[in-house]
Structure 1
Amino acid sequence: MFDLHCHLLPGIDDGAVDLEMSLTMARMAVDDGILVTACTPHIYPGLYENTGPAIRDAIVALQAVLDQEGIALRLVEGADVHLDHHLVRGIQSGHIPTLAGSRYLLFEPPHHVAPPRFEESLFELMAAGYIPVITHPERLSWVEQHYSTFTRAADRGVFIQITAGALTGRYGKRPKYWADRFVGEGYAHILATDAHHPRRRPPFLAEAREAAARLVGAEEAEHLVSTRPGGIIQNAAPGTLPPLPAATVRTSPGFWSRLLGSAR
């Protein structure tokens, strides 16, 4: 499996606090069946002033320790990127890393408010040749009012990443409801751990693959954790990756409303 969203680098953001924690998380990932992890620290102007060169240097250093310790995990670069007026320029300059140097970029929307010109920002990235991968929309406080914004973006070529732990209920009923809905209605492209801590937010993907299989079948579940994320690392063109499935879980709007009501 390939984990394209993980805060594994030590002491660089709100993820692993030190090398010991990074190594613990790396061992857990390998034991879970993860072969490649994208190290994706936050780039958040004014809070986490990480840069592409510094992230790459940190990855080289951590990979050397993993190899020395016999931990069979390959690291690639990335970042959990927040909206910024100079985003395209930052990518082109190398200041903001894409996933494994590909055309795909992890894009984290604000958690508590829908940003102005959100869709326009996504399509500006696409016009510049990049594919935004929206991180964890199921956990955003404004997803109820803007679910169609995300599904419309997915229909137009934006990728959607769902958190593995949300799909398995680690984050509670409400995120699980929206994770189930994105996956079950065929709008999720990949699952990723968004791991920050070995206990509170662990790097587990296998349990989410099984949860996804119950919603969309084993083949699509494998696409969510292997085929598509592996293709992203190889910089495959979007059209060469498995397409999103036709909706395989068809339920009435009343069902979803009742389920969401019980999750509140």
Structure 2
Amino acid sequence: MIDLHCHLLPGIDDGPTTLEVSLAMARCAVDDGITFTACTPHIYPGLYENNRAGIEAAVQALRTALAEAGIPLQLGTGADTHLAPDLAGGIRDGRVPTINGSRYLLLEPPHHVAPPRFDESVFTLMAAGIVPVITHPERLSWIETHYSVFTDLVKQGAWMQLTAGSLTGRFGRRPKYWAERMLDEGLVHILATDSHHIDKRPPLLAEGREAAAARVGAEEAWHLVRTRPQGILDDLPPGQLPPLPARPPVPERRAGFWQRLFGTA
């Protein structure tokens, strides 16, 4: 399996603080069946001032440490990139890394406030030749009132990345509900761990693949953790990768807690 969203680099953001924890996370990933991890620390202006050069240097140092420890995990580069003015310019100038130098960019929306004109920001990136991969939409507190924004963005060509643990309930009932709904409605392109630590948020992807397989089948679950992630690493255009599964109209669901509370379409 391939994990394209993981905070594995030590001391660079809110992920592991020491190399020892990074190595423990890497061992956990290998034991889980992950063969390749993209190191994607936050780029958050004013908080985590990371850039491509610094991330690449940190990845190379961790590669050396993995080799010395005998941990067979391949590493790539990237960033969990927050919205910022002229983000497309930062990519073009080489300050903001895409996933392993491809056309695909991890884009993290704000967690608690819907950004104004979010769809316009995404379209600006796509117009610049970037495929935004929107990270963990199921965990955003504003998905209830803006669900149609995500469905429309998928129709326009943006990609969605669920956190594997959301499908298994690691983040609670609410993210699990929205993760399952997006998966059922054919809106999810890849799964990733978004791991930050070895204890509370370990790099476990297999459990998410298995939970996805129970809902969409083993073939699509494999696309979520291997085929499409490999296509991203190979910088293939989206049209050359397995399309999202065509789904019949989703039958009306029984009014669960989150539907009764928010009632979104």
Give the TM-score normalised by structure 1: 0.96
What corresponds to 2:216 in structure 1? 216
Distance 1:162-1:263 versus aligned 2 partners, 3 A rule: farther
For residues 117 and 171 of structure 1, the distance between their equivalents in structure 2, rounded to whole angstroms, comes to: 28
| AA aligned opposite 2:32 | D
For residues 123 and 205 of structure 2, the distance between their equivalents in structure 1, rounded to whole angstroms, comes to: 30
What corresponds to 1:231 in structure 2? 231
SS of 2:75's equivalent in the other structure is strand
Moved over 3 A (4+): 261-264
Distance 1:213-1:98 versus aligned 2 partners, 3 A rule: same
For residues 246 and 259 of structure 2, the distance between their equivalents in structure 1, rounded to whole angstroms, comes to: 26
Counterpart contact for 1:40–1:80, Cα < 8 Å: yes
* Superposed displacement of residue 101, structure 1: 0.3
What corresponds to 2:258 in structure 1? 260
* Superposed displacement of residue 261, structure 1: 4.9
For residues 154 and 196 of structure 1, the distance between their equivalents in structure 2, rounded to whole angstroms, comes to: 27
Structure-to-structure mapping, 1:82-161, within 5 angstroms: 82-161=82-161
For residues 153 and 14 of structure 2, the distance between their equivalents in structure 1, rounded to whole angstroms, comes to: 29
Distance 1:57-1:248 versus aligned 2 partners, 3 A rule: farther
What corresponds to 1:45 in structure 2? 45
For residues 213 and 257 of structure 2, the distance between their equivalents in structure 1, rounded to whole angstroms, comes to: 20
* Superposed displacement of residue 247, structure 1: 2.2
* Superposed displacement of residue 246, structure 1: 1.5
| AA aligned opposite 1:260 | W
* Superposed displacement of residue 259, structure 1: 4.5
What corresponds to 2:19 in structure 1? 19
**How many residues are aligned here?**
262
For residues 200 and 261 of structure 2, the distance between their equivalents in structure 1, rounded to whole angstroms, comes to: 21
SS of 1:191's equivalent in the other structure is strand
1:29 aligns with 2:29: yes
What corresponds to 2:70 in structure 1? 70
SS of 1:154's equivalent in the other structure is helix
| AA aligned opposite 1:29 | A
Distance 1:204-1:12 versus aligned 2 partners, 3 A rule: same
Counterpart contact for 1:55–1:77, Cα < 8 Å: yes
| AA aligned opposite 1:211 | A
Q: Unmatched 5+ residue regions in structure 2?
A: none
* Superposed displacement of residue 233, structure 1: 0.8
Give the TM-score normalised by structure 2: 0.96
Q: Unmatched 5+ residue regions in structure 1?
A: none
* Superposed displacement of residue 67, structure 1: 1.1
For residues 207 and 169 of structure 2, the distance between their equivalents in structure 1, rounded to whole angstroms, comes to: 11
More off after superposition, 227-236 vs 240-249: 240-249
* Superposed displacement of residue 248, structure 1: 6.2
SS of 1:75's equivalent in the other structure is strand
- Computed over aligned residues only, the root mean square deviation of the Cα atoms, in angstroms, reads 1.4
For residues 65 and 177 of structure 2, the distance between their equivalents in structure 1, rounded to whole angstroms, comes to: 39
Instruction: Show CA shifts across 1:98-143 (max 9, x none).
Output: 0000000000000111111100110100000000000000000000
SS of 1:34's equivalent in the other structure is coil
| AA aligned opposite 1:13 | D
Percent identity (aligned): 62
